C-alpha cells in the first residue's frame, strides 16, 4: 500500500472518530426529560428526569473507563469498535452478553458504591472500568 493511500485512510479514520465524538457530545442533549406540575383535574404528577451517561467500547478500552455518577443514573455502553465485547459486573450482578459492533447495553445504578466491570474476552489486556455511585 502506498504512503498516499495510508495517509488518505488515516484521514478518513480521523474524520470518522471526530464525527462520532461530536455525535456522542450531542447525544446526551437529545435525551428527553418530562416534567409536569399537574393534570387537567388538578392532580399533582411527579417529574421524570432521565440521567444517561454514555461509555464507548473503542478498540480494547472503555472510554471513559472511570466515572462518578448519582444514584438513579443509567449508564449506556456503546460498542463503537469492530470487535465483540461484553460489559460484565465483577460480582456478576449484571452482564450484557456479547455485544456486536453498533450494539448497546444499559444499566441503571440505584445503590451507592463502587462497581468494577470488565469485558470477558479482553479483561486480560486491561479492558476494565469502574463506576462510583454517590
Which pLDDT value is given to residue 29?
A: 43
Segment 54-91, tens digit of pLDDT = 999 999 999 999 999 999 999 999 999 999 999 999 99
Residue pLDDT, tens place only, 5-64: 656 665 555 545 554 554 444 444 444 433 333 444 455 555 556 699 999 999 999 999
Q: Provide CATH code, domain 48-134.
A: 2.60.40.420
122 φ/ψ sector (left φ>0, alpha ψ -120 to 50, else beta)? alpha
Question: Which of 98, 68, 72, 67 shows the shortest CA–CA distance to 85?
Answer: 98
Give me the sheet containing 52-58, strands edge to edge: 61-63, 52-58, 73-79, 104-109
Nearest to 134 by CA among 70, 49, 52, 61: 70
Q: What are the extents of the domains in the chain?
A: 1-30, 48-134
Rounded Cα distance between 70 and 52, Å, is: 11
Q: What's this model's pTM, rounded to 2 decimal places?
A: 0.65
Amino acid at each position: 500500500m502506498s504512503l498516499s493511500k495510508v495517509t488518505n485512510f488515516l484521514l478518513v479514520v480521523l474524520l470518522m472518530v471526530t464525527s462520532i465524538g461530536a455525535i456522542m457530545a450531542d447525544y446526551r442533549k437529545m435525551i428527553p426529560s418530562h416534567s409536569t406540575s399537574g393534570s387537567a383535574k388538578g392532580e399533582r404528577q411527579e417529574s421524570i428526569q432521565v440521567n444517561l451517561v454514555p461509555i464507548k467500547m473503542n478498540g480494547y478500552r472503555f472510554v471513559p473507563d472511570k466515572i462518578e455518577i448519582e444514584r438513579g443514573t443509567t449508564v449506556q455502553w456503546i460498542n463503537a469498535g469492530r470487535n465483540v465485547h461484553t460489559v460484565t459486573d465483577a460480582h456478576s450482578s449484571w452482564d450484557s452478553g456479547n455485544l456486536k459492533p453498533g450494539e448497546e447495553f444499559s444499566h441503571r445504578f440505584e445503590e451507592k458504591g463502587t462497581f468494577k466491570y470488565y469485558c470477558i474476552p479482553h479483561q486480560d489486556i486491561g479492558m476494565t472500568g469502574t463506576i462510583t455511585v454517590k
